[in-house]
Amino acid sequence: MPDEPRILPTVTTPRDLRRLKPAQLDALAAEIRDFLVTEVSKTGGHLGPNLGVVELTIALHRVFSSPTDRLVFDTGHQAYVHKLLTGRQDFSRLRGRGGLSGYPSRAESDHDVVENSHASAALSWADGIARANQVAGLRDRHVVAVVGDGALTGGMAWEALNNISSGQDRRLVVVVNDNGRSYSPTIGGLAQQLDTLRTTQSYERVLALGKATLQRGGPPGRFAYDALHGLKKGLKDVARPQGLFEDLGIKYVGPVDGHDRVMVEHALRRAKAFDGPVIVHVITEKGRGYTPAEEDVADRFHAVGKIHPETGLPVAPSRFGWTAVFADEIVAIARQRSDVVGVTAAMLHPVGLAPMAEEFPDRVFDVGIAEQHAVTSAAGMAFAGLHPVIGLYATFLGRGFDQLLMDVGLHKAGVTFVLDRAGLTGEDGASHNGMWDIAMTSIVPGLRLAAPRDETTLREELREAVAVDDAPTVLRYPKGALPEALPAVQRVGGAYGPDVLARHAGDGGARVLVVGVGAFAACAVEVGERLAQHGIGGTVVDPRWVLPVGSELLELAQGHDLVVTVEDGLVTGGAGSHLRDALAAAGTHVPVQSHGIPRTYLEHASRAELVAELGLRPADVAREAASAVAHLTGATEPATIDR
């Protein structure tokens, strides 16, 4: 018997879904899961979340009419299925230069609204769009926000719900995609309430009865669904977390098995018919249909690199990375200091606090996707005698910046921020590049920021950071594997002073101080070597503590004719900018040539591609430095430095 023709290639717009028969829709769901496992295993990406929303996304596009009806995903990494159903089926360069983004993208499709990889924001977007529809008199349009239960732990989501509840005539549907996880199991009071509803045996019996009723056929399910709803109402005294929403004035529908497409469609149609805000509670399983993901308790398949699709194992095992070093060192510190505690915002494993939580479960606090609360809570802990260490991705620090400035900084609280994935992260795109932190934190009076260059300096600077009890400290490091060790030639000054990495004798001309910040210290060493090969001498230094600019670094700069800085943060307001300002304030007029990231949003591409595009390769920096030296010395031709 010949193979059945594939259905997915025939679906180029959501309208195509409405012509498919039930058996074809089931086959389509299976095809999509096969496609995701096959394609994402080649490129890497968010596999688990998308395997869990296949039936839900099909149902959304059958009930609502995108892009007239607007679908907003929170977070956007669960939108791969949405991309497939809206005509984007070339995943060969997913998250790569010229390929599809790993998140919704207006540049790709009219079906996309917001590149929202920062959680808990979709409800505010949806509320705003629904308000605009109301003002414009567009009564035939709906707005649908698909929100993970993890995202509902964020305060912004509850601010939005508070406002959504006031708009009883706005056509807004909130789909709570409840899989009990964000990066890690969802925590907090809301999670406990949802878990009660998810696991109560009475509700499980109701769901089973409803499914059986629907499967018996008859009229297209309205009576069956109404019967199911009536049974559910009778159980409110047993378990009624829906009261949490209904007390806000938001109608609640659910719980619904998110992998039963028929039931999901019935729930969504019922919500659509209601002339006001509705919450549809959908129970899903992250990694659904892919055995390695279903059997994995550590959620390794939330986001994967290149993997073997049959086993889920990495194609190339990861090298020991920055996060692992932090994880090891913070446990060692915690053993020695009972006042040190860990704080994370729903990212216990990704930021490396899980080992500390295992050994000291009463000293690590996961507050959910609530960075603002995390930071101010840490300020309170510091006031009460603890030293909190907050682990965040660098891109998420902005979500708690007001609290850093006014609660931690103003009160001189001894709180350490450990920023993972600082600088260029690449494939996850504009919202995930952790490039803003140096410029942002530099305006906080008294704050100290360190950027380790290798394993040794990470361990060293973490200990130096937690020794500060009268000001916030920040430790930033990039994504990925550790570089080779870069031993210092000399430590200048005391414990917080810079490291000299190399000295080069020149031809007696201009001397260049090359300053490499953090992960770009190795680049700076190569820049110094390239300049030396062309007779341009100087010194290569790692400032270690970037903010504030230390007096030792200023003294080093005064002994040179040109300072060249290279960093993977913003040029404007970055380390080089602050060094230039400090030199000027000290009355030292040494020119500073800064290399870093311009103040712009970077499209998704590999880190190496971005480094090349931004002119941050050693040859690029050395060439610019040689040109500046030629200008300073009056040479007719700068040194020719090859790539």
Binding residues for thiamine diphosphate: 77, 117-119, 150-151, 179, 290, 371
329 Cβ neighbours under 8 A, 6+ residues apart: 458, 459, 462, 463
Q: Go through the chain and tell me how many residues it has.
A: 643
Active-site residues, by number, are 286, 371, 399
Determine the Cα–Cα distance for residues 87 and 477; give it in Å rounded to an integer.
38
Distance CA 483, CA 320 (A): 10
| 150: helix, strand or coil | coil
- Going by DSSP bridges, is the β-strand pair 278-283/473-476 parallel, antiparallel, or unpaired? unpaired
* CB 364, CB 353: distance < 8 Å: yes
Tokens in use for 517?
């910040």
Rounded Cα gap, residues 530 and 521, in angstroms:
14
Q: Is the dihedral of CA 479, 483, 487, 489 positive or negative?
A: negative
The packing angle between helices 22-43 and 54-63, to 10°, is: 130
Three-state DSSP at 219 gives coil
Cα separation, 303 vs 7, in Å, equals 27
Residue 197 main-chain phi, psi, to 5 deg: -65, -35
Neighbours of 248 (CB within 10 A): 16
Q: Is 29 helix (H, G, I), strand (E, B) or coil?
A: helix
Distance separating alpha carbons of residues 33 and 287, to the nearest angstrom: 9
Q: Token pair of 88, please?
A: 């984007």
Contact 14, 38 (CB under 8 A): no
Token duo for residue 438 = 């140096």
CB 565 within 8 A of CB 533: no
Rounded distance between C-alpha atoms, residue 80 and residue 94, angstroms: 10
| Rounded CA separation 370/586 (Å) | 41
Type of residue found at 49: P
Token reading at 284: 């899903």
CA torsion sign for 95, 183, 301, 57 is: negative
Of the candidates 394, 356, 354, 400, the residue with the CA atom closest to the CA atom of residue 377: 400
Four-CA torsion 568, 571, 573, 577, nearest 10 degrees: 110
73: nearest Cα among 57, 94, 86, 89 = 57
* Contact (Cβ atoms closer than 8 angstroms) between residue 533 and residue 504: no
> Residue 489 and residue 473: Cα distance in Å, rounded?
26
Residue 140 makes CB contacts below 8 A (sequence gap 6+) with 68
Q: Reply yes or no: is the peptide bond before residue 22 cis, omega within 30 of 0.
A: no
Distance of alpha carbon 478 from alpha carbon 422, whole angstroms: 5
* Residues 71, 79 contacting (CB under 8 angstroms): no
Cβ contacts of 77 within 8 Å, gap of 6 or more: 46, 49, 50, 102, 103, 117, 303
- The dihedral over CA atoms of 255, 260, 266, 270, expressed in degrees to the nearest 10, equals 30
